[in-house]
Amino acid sequence: MNRLPERDAARRSARPARHAPRPVNRAPARAELAERLAEGCRSLNLDVGFDERERLLAYLELLQRWNRVYNLTAIRDPSDMLAQHLLDSLAVLRPLEEAAGRATAPRVAPGPCLLDVGSGAGLPGLALALAWPTLEADLVEPVGKKAAFLRQSVAELGLAQRVRVHEGRIQEARLPRAPDLAICRAFASLNDFTGLIEPFLTPETVVFAMKGQRQEIEAEAAALAPGWQIADITALVVPGLGAARHLVELAQPTRTGR
């Protein structure tokens, strides 16, 4: 029988098995995302507590899991999702809080109510509700698989008392409460958006749209229906995102008898 030289035998026996499974440790990845989320909130000057951040990460994990099957978003990488979805949504939290604080009409609930039109996977409405513990939200989404994801997320994340999902077009929605705030993200032109939500608004409702380039906003502003105006444009700096982001506040037409 041929025997291997001692040195070669020792060398071969010391090699790890070629197909031996390597241990997988996912904790560092989540810890890294948690730190990036905390840093992002600090950069945005947001006081988002630990529990709220943990639920935001749980939402991100749900989105990743559903996205593998239902293709809810083209973004797959968790780090990219954090910047382009979560932090992008949280970047409007402070302006919306300030707008809610300007309201003079009495509220029927402790916190304001947000109408999110074309919510998609819950952006920004669901993310804002997770970070803003007193916020109520009505999420309107016509695509069935996305509405199903929203309902599951609301149930799993303990938001059923504050967040409602309306599957269908905004024209068909039956809102239990008039919104104090209305918003859309990557939904429609400013003119189409304002025309669709107008029946649901009160004179006190503050209307926002999340947009990209300022040139896009200026072009859409020229097509607004008579009476609607741009009240303010805020440039947003989203941590980890180099693309241009702006928050547009829209002023409603002055109406009598409302």
Handedness of CA 153, 87, 71, 220 (dihedral sign): positive
Instruction: Give the pLDDT mean for 25-52.
Output: 89
Is the confidence at residue 75, as pLDDT, over 50? Answer: yes
> Do the domain assignments include residue 8?
no
> Do the domain assignments include residue 13?
no
Q: What is the CATH number of the domain that holds 192?
A: 3.40.50.150
Distance (Å, rounded) from C-alpha 5 to C-alpha 200? 85
pLDDT tens per residue across span 89-145: 999 999 999 999 987 666 667 899 999 999 999 999 999 999 999 999 999 999 999
Distance (Å, rounded) from C-alpha 250 to C-alpha 233? 9
Range of the domain at 83: 29-251
Q: Tell me what pLDDT residue 34 has.
A: 97
Which contiguous run of DSSP H or E holds residue 251? Answer: strand 245-251
> Do the domain assignments include residue 97?
yes
Q: Tell me what pLDDT residue 19 has.
A: 52
Instruction: Give the pLDDT mean for 198-219.
Output: 96
Q: Tell me what pLDDT residue 102 has.
A: 87
Per-residue pLDDT band for 238 (boundaries 50, 70, 90) equals very high
| C-beta pairs of 248-251 under 8 Å, 24+ apart in sequence | 248/190, 248/208, 248/209, 248/210, 248/211, 248/217, 249/95, 249/99, 249/206, 249/207, 249/208, 250/190, 250/194, 250/207, 250/208, 250/209, 250/224
Say if CB 92 and CB 124 are below 8 A apart: yes
Q: What are phi and psi of 144, to 5 degrees?
A: -60, -45
> Do the domain assignments include residue 174?
yes
Q: Tell me what pLDDT residue 36 has.
A: 97
> Do the domain assignments include residue 22?
no
> Do the domain assignments include residue 91?
yes
pTM for the full predicted model: 0.87
Instruction: Give the pLDDT mean for 4-9.
Output: 46
Calculate what percentage of the chain has a pLDDT beyond 90.
Answer: 82
Q: Tell me what pLDDT residue 113 has.
A: 97
52: tokens are 């709220």
> Do the domain assignments include residue 114?
yes
Please name which of 122, 109, 120, 98 lies closest in space to residue 206, comparing C-alpha atoms: 98
Distance (Å, rounded) from C-alpha 219 to C-alpha 224? 10
Per-residue pLDDT band for 18 (boundaries 50, 70, 90) equals low
Q: Tell whether omega for the bond before 124 is within 30 degrees of 0, i.e. cis.
A: yes
Distance (Å, rounded) from C-alpha 53 to C-alpha 33? 10
Distance (Å, rounded) from C-alpha 229 to C-alpha 68? 41
Q: Tell me what pLDDT residue 201 has.
A: 97
| Overall number of domains in the chain | 1
Compute the residue count for the chain. 258
> Any idea which of 97-111, 203-217, 230-244 has the lowest mean pLDDT?
97-111
Q: 3-class SS at 204?
A: coil
> Do the domain assignments include residue 4?
no
Instruction: Give the pLDDT mean for 34-49.
Output: 98
Distance (Å, rounded) from C-alpha 58 to C-alpha 9? 50
Identity of residue 39: E
